Structure 1
Amino acid sequence: MNKQIPFHRYIISLICVAIISGGGVYMLMNQATMSSSEEASQDELAKVHALYHTIQENYYKKVDKNALIEGALAGMTDALDDPYTTYLGKEAATELNNSLSDSFEGIGATLSLVEGIPEVAQAPIKGSPAEKAGLKLHDKILKVDNQETNGKELTDVVQTIRGKKGTDVTLTIERNQEQFDVTITRGEIPIASLQTEIDKQTHIGKIQIASFNESTAKELKEAIQDLRKKGATSFVIDLRQNPGGYLNQVEMMASMFLEDGQTIVKFATDDKVLGESKASKELDGGFKVKEPVAVLVDGGSASASEIFAAALKESADIPIIGTSTFGKGTVQTVSDFGDQSEIKMTVQKWLTPNEEWVNEKGLEPTIKADFPKYAYFPPLPKDRTLKKGDESETISNLNTFLNALGYETIGNTFNDTTEEAIRDFQAKKNITVTGEVNSETAVLIEIDVATQLQENDQIYNKAVEVLTESKE
């Protein structure tokens, strides 16, 4: 997905390792092995076999046979010109499965890259191997099993630290300018797919759902029950930047908000509707949410998120607040070849209860609301210093950020007013006052802007307004 991400969520992503990813809606399948090549027509694959042998016999240097096969498999899915149908090698398949799982095996520490060095970005998960080993916030990880981390991609470092439960990994840590090694035994780390909080003043329970993984429906039911005990009389379901997940989970979750018999989603081929899923006791176990509800969406809400929002919008007349969603209207299955590689393949499209196909256009919210424009600006550069006399769109963005923080800065020129604002900002942050924007100053400006956007979340505020009015 390449639609815009709100700035405050982008900044959060800079200081967190994304555990949940994917961007799809997946049908659960048995891990059935794919059909063997003996079942394929040899005539149809004659050219493939001929090319394979020709390359092996005549290419000017030694050929990796496995690389040829993997390339051929990837080429077949690429030829479909479907971004959601992909051949997944072992590593990619593992990554997808982890992204949809409710747990992973590792140490339980969230990392960020700070000037090229991985750093512990949050206190380790309580009870995790990282916490038991004494890792602390801001610990720098210089080496993993004696391999330097400087300059490596964060995802590569994370994958190296992760590993099978019960195995050891040795990290070289720098803390307060001291270096030491810590050996940690990996364990199973649960992944919470949602977060909750209650506004005691309005009695609104807010539930932010990051993805639809293996246990999200169960987590949602428990969250609603807990929030009710805390006094919640209405709910906000936040699906912003939620890329999707398992179809069975979104069906169970949507059913909780609909009356039995109401349509959740319909399934179709190019020319006809094949069937539909309806709310029922079989899906939700008889657990229903009768309180007023509002759903938040944005351009990062995709696939399963769109199914949920469309079901509540069209079947239950529940307000959907935010911006147009991503627009992914297809369903994928994941099938195993038997050697840890997989194929993720589109098998049908899904339609809203009113038989609208949101693919490539998105679901329109009931009520439009958005962050200010600067929420979608790109981050400030960290590889160069911005200073007086500079003139560019980047400086215009800088001045807008500063203006949002209360400084009287405008225009695309780094002028006296900009310099004065930077000096004041640096003094308040107790960092070296230079009047120039280096990497440290840029990060602190972005964090303050992100915090302000979170504290003045216009989309959430609109939901509060709607729910408050519904009680009057």
Structure 2
Amino acid sequence: MKYFNKKPVLVILIALLSIGLLFSFVNKNDKLFAIAKNLDIFASLVRELDSYYVDDIDAEQLVTIGINAMLEELDPYTEFIPEENSDDFRFLTTGEYAGVGALIGNRTGVNMILMPYKGFPAQSGGLRIGDQILKVDTVDVSEKLTSDISKLLKGPANTSVLVQVKRGVDTLSFDITRKKIVISNVPFYGKIDDNTGYIKLSDFTTNAAADVRSAFLDLKSQGITRLVLDVRDNPGGILKEAVDIVNLFIPKGKEVVRTIGKLESVNSVYKTTKSPVDKDIPLVVLINERSASAAEIVAGALQDYDRAILVGRKTFGKGLVQTTIPLSYNSQIKVTTAKYYIPSGRCIQAIDYSKKDENGLSNSIPDSLRNEFRTKNGRIVLDGAGIEPDKKIDSKNFAPITYSLVARNLVFEFGNEFFIENKEITGPREFQISDALYEDFVSWLDGKEYDYTTYVEKTLEDLEKYAEKEKFFDDIKLTIEELKAKVSHNKEQDLVTFKDEIKDALREEIISRYFYQEGVIEASLMNDADINSALAILKSDSEISNILMASSKMLDSK
């Protein structure tokens, strides 16, 4: 038997034990080691798959899928941005890109122009809503995704792109020069009545505050004495722009929002830095369930200071802050780094992504865990579920026939045909769908498919299914048949019953052909329940006082 020298063996054993203890210590306590180890495993895995897997694989695609799957475990706002998507991300944050300036989409399987932006190359070059896109330069795009078409239309400023479209029975070609496109954060502003201004704020990209300030100053020069700021459907954006917009209405040196995260470097307090444009003008802010992030900071801060009355519906509830961090090879990650807290001290984040249920889903914060805070005047406000309005207005529900006519693009197609046959119409506020024009539309519908199921019919269908499943059908079969006969919808009668709301849909569709996005917004002001409620409040000093000084009761949610 061969013997080993005991001293070297002992030294080796001690060394191995020390290394084992060290790795054990590091493995338990040093996250950097764990990260490095798992990254090495991941890289090894991809290399071996690329070498040994039976079929060829796209390693880059696999890695991207893996990254996205990992990020899905966190929250919807932490996302990986590869180099090829950097232009799209830049547009989302700045509102700038070089292209033709048109919104494109797919309607009933056809790629088409949905909205050329007024004053940009697509509109000035002759493209119209409803134009079916056939080719971009020499590329046939009839079967391509709209995202691919959008990339083809974009390019360096001052370069030309040939766009071939089908309009009605004609095939037309347009040679369009790309330009730098800067989409305004304020697509429309104007006067609702002689004394009330209105500003539609659709985004918080670069210059959002400057856009609102410019619109506000113009309206003040026109003599307005009250203002409606509309942030409905606004998904948010740059936090600093939100702070500067709040600064238009409250004094210098006031806290608007603070961010608190895991790292000291992301903890910040954002205060107003300038004198306000007007700290006294009566103000209503319109909000809804699609107002998020920076839009909620504006609405919430103005509510906390009792500077504005909020009208509409509870907001989305996004109280998380994202920071963009550069990665290698020109990629980036947009990562949630903090939560934001508005002046009363509340965070309005509605979903707790740090906790998951047995199905791996994150849930809304329960009412029992929501905390009370106070506005400047002592009104009670709650955290954990978005911003609640001071005056709640129920959302408008449309009849099934209206949904069907819009969803099947029949309203859209009628708008196209009307535009071809009529060179001009009166202004957005003046134009109305006459009874004669509505009858033309009804006649035009003859022979077209737009059947639908009403809510009551759907309920009866569900009842019938459950009755059959639970063996009760024979007992109630006659009753169900009688109910079906009574509630069976009549399309012709529904065209009469819901004439007014169908007229509204037709009106806005037709106006969009002549006055684009701005015209649609202006036209909608006339029949907007939120705006009517805002006007009623602004015209009543006692109503304003009752809402803003009601320190002993919860916000009005009636």
One fold, TM greater than 0.5?
A: yes
* Residue in structure 1 matched with residue 179 of structure 2 by the alignment: 187
Change (3 A) 1:331 1:56: same
2:492 is aligned with what amino acid? E
Are the structure 2 counterparts of residues 441 and 252 from structure 1 closer, same or farther at C-alpha, using a change threshold of 3 Å? closer
Q: 1:362 aligns with which of 368, 386, 398?
A: 386
Q: What is the deviation of 1:44?
A: 4.4
Aligned to 2:111: 118
Report the more deviating stretch, 173-182 or 208-217. Answer: 173-182
Partner of 1:63: 57
Moved more, 291-300 or 249-258: 249-258
- Give RMSD over aligned pairs: 3.8
Gaps of 5+ in 1: 1-37, 398-409, 429-439
Q: Answer yes or no: is 1:175 the counterpart of 2:167.
A: yes
Query: What runs of 5+ residues in structure 2 fail to find an aligned partner?
Result: 1-31, 351-384, 410-447, 460-484, 511-519, 544-558
Q: Equivalents in 2 of 1:377, 1:340: separation in Å?
A: 49
Number of residue pairs the alignment of both structures matches: 401
Tell me, in whole angstroms, the C-alpha distance in 1 between the residues paired with 2:400 and 2:497. Answer: 25
Q: Counterpart amino acid of 2:408?
A: K
Q: Distance in 1 between matches of 2:242 and 2:503?
A: 42
Q: d(CA) in 2 for partners of 1:443 and 1:464?
A: 23
Is 1:393 the counterpart of 2:468 in the alignment? no
Pick one of 314, 317, 320 that aligns with 1:327.
317
Contact persistence 2:161–2:178 (CA under 8 A):
yes
Secondary structure at 2:338's aligned position in 1?
Answer: strand
Q: TM-score, normalised by structure 1?
A: 0.74
> 1:78 and 2:72 equivalent?
yes
In structure 1, C-alpha distance between the alignment counterparts of 2:497 and 2:401, rounded to whole Å: 23
Shift of 1:189: 1.5
Contact 2:318 2:349 survives alignment (8 Å): yes
Matched, 1:413 2:488: yes
Following superposition, the deviation at residue 297 of structure 1 comes to 0.3
Bigger share in helix: 2
Instruction: Give TM-score scaled by structure 2 length.
Output: 0.63
Match of 1:135 among 127, 130, 147: 127
Higher relative contact order, structure no. (Cα contacts within 8 Å, ≥ 6 residues apart)? 1
The alpha carbon displacement at 1:235 in A equals 1.0
Q: Partners of 1:394 and 1:341 in 2: how far apart?
A: 51
- Give 1:455's aligned residue: 526
TM-aligned CA distance change 1:133 to 1:261, over 3 Å: closer
Alignment of 1:84-99 (within 5 A): 84-99=77-92
1:46 maps to what in 2?
40
Deviations 1:38-93 (A, max 9, x none): 999643423223212221222112233322433343344234x2111111223443
- Cα gap change, 1:357 to 1:131, in 2 (>3 Å): closer
Identity of aligned residues (%): 26
Output one character per residue of 1:369-393: Cα deviation in whole Å (capped at 9) or x when no partner: 2333338999325299245xx7543
Closer/same/farther in 2, CA of residues 105 and 453 from structure 1, 3 Å limit:
closer
Secondary structure of 1:142's match? strand
* 1:365 shift after superposition: 1.0
Q: 1:253 to 1:294 in 2, by over 3 A?
A: same
Q: Which residue of 2 aligns with 1:106?
A: 99
Greater Cα radius of gyration, structure 1 or 2: 2
Q: Deviations over 1:87-135 (max 9, x none)?
A: 1223443322212213221112344544433344446532x33345333
Indicate the SS of the match to 1:325: coil
Give 1:143 shift.
2.0
Contact map agreement 2:283 2:307 (CA 8 A) in 1 = no
- Residue 350 of structure 1 aligns to a residue whose secondary structure is strand
Matched, 1:147 2:124: no
Cα distance 1:286–1:237, how it changes in 2: closer, same or farther (>3 A)? closer
Q: Does residue 465 of the first structure (1) align with residue 540 of the second (2)?
A: no
Question: Which amino acid in structure 1 is aligned with residue 210 of structure 2?
Answer: K
Query: What secondary structure is seen at the aligned counterpart in 1 of 2:321?
Result: strand
Partner residue in 1 for 2:365: none
Aligned twin of 1:32: none
In the other structure, the counterpart of 1:230 is: 222
Deviations 1:243-281 (A, max 9, x none): 000011111111221122322112223799944222222
Which piece of structure 1 moves more, 376-385 or 40-49?
A: 376-385
Superposed counterparts of 1:188-203, under 5 Å: 188-199=180-191, 201-203=193-195
In the TM superposition, what whole-angstrom CA distance separates every residue of 1:6-26 from its partner, at most 9, and x where no partner exists?
A: xxxxxxxxxxxxxxxxxxxxx
Q: 1:412 to 1:212 in 2, by over 3 A?
A: farther
1:371 and 2:395 matched: yes
Question: Which stretch of structure 1 is more off in the superposition, 301-310 or 57-66?
Answer: 57-66
**Partner in structure 2 of residue 18 of structure 1:** none
